[in-house]
Amino acid sequence: MRTVARAALLGALLLGGGASAVPPAPSPAPDVVRVFSLRHRKAEDAFLLVRPLLTERGSIALQPARNALTVRDAGPSVERAAQAVEAFDVPPRGFFVTVSLLQATSGPVPGMPSGPSSEQARGAGARLKKLFSFTDYSVLDEVVIQGIEGVPVSWNLGSSYRLDFLIESSRTGDVVRLRDLVLARVRRDEKGHEAVRDVARTSINLRLREPFVLGVGREEGGRSALFLVLSASPPEPRPGIGGIR
């Protein structure tokens, strides 16, 4: 009789009638699919922003012709992607980029004002004197350039230099990226023909309102060196269109 009772109890447990029965695992929530069509920014850039926000089961498809993304994942992940795309897809921002081109020497240069004139250039000159053997810093040119994200900028500096760069869209509000920045020396012959030689070519990140000092090499003969001092700031009411000297 005891054997029969134990068998009956075991059968009840296996059938789920006992208190120790394990409930079945809940089925996962169905995936959500959303299409994001961007108006102001490139879908390729948004792809890099959204992909880390998805789960392992999530997927993202890029449609370059439509400048759109198709995102498939759990509801919370798709919602995070929607918020990120909304914050990212805004009209291109404008900035003022302040540029100082300094010539560093071991003594005063005839015909050139000795010492930087702007506060930005003076601060950079003081730091450079502590780091290098040069004792004098002359200003070849100083300019404030108005630029917009995604629009190439080209500007003449002094009598024989040209600066080119592209303000690249950034996912952070306090950083401005200058992509493909090129400082070139331009020489013109008697017939007006130009010979252009790159002095420096790079890309840099600028934190808003923080000067960035870029050494662009020694001049011919090694008696002097060139430095670019750059900073970026949000737009403020100022005169002019392309730039302000």
Phi, psi of 197 (to 5 degrees): -130, 125
pLDDT computed for residue 64 by the predictor: 93
Sign, CA dihedral 151-152-158-159, equals negative
**Distance between CA atoms of residues 59 and 56, nearest Å:** 8
Phi, psi of 132 (to 5 degrees): -125, 170
Question: CA angle 159-165-171, nearest 5°?
Answer: 150
Spatial neighbors of 33 by CB under 8 A, at least 6 apart, are: 70, 71, 72, 78
Structural domains in the chain plus CATH codes? 29-91 (3.30.1370.120), 94-244 (no CATH)
pLDDT computed for residue 224 by the predictor: 80
CA torsion angle for 42, 43, 49, 55 (degrees, to 10)?
Answer: 180
Q: Going residue by residue through the chain (245 aa), what tens digit of pLDDT does each one get?
A: 555 555 554 455 455 554 555 666 666 778 899 999 999 989 998 999 999 999 999 999 999 999 999 999 999 999 999 999 998 898 888 999 999 998 888 765 555 555 555 666 666 666 666 666 677 788 889 999 999 988 999 999 988 899 999 998 766 678 899 999 999 999 887 777 778 889 899 999 999 999 999 888 766 556 788 899 999 998 865 544 444 44
Report the relative pairing of strands 94-105 and 136-148 from DSSP bridges: antiparallel
Are residues 151 and 167 in contact, defined by beta-carbon separation less than 8 angstroms? yes
Are residues 191 and 167 in contact, defined by beta-carbon separation less than 8 angstroms? no
Residue type at 209 in one-letter notation:
R
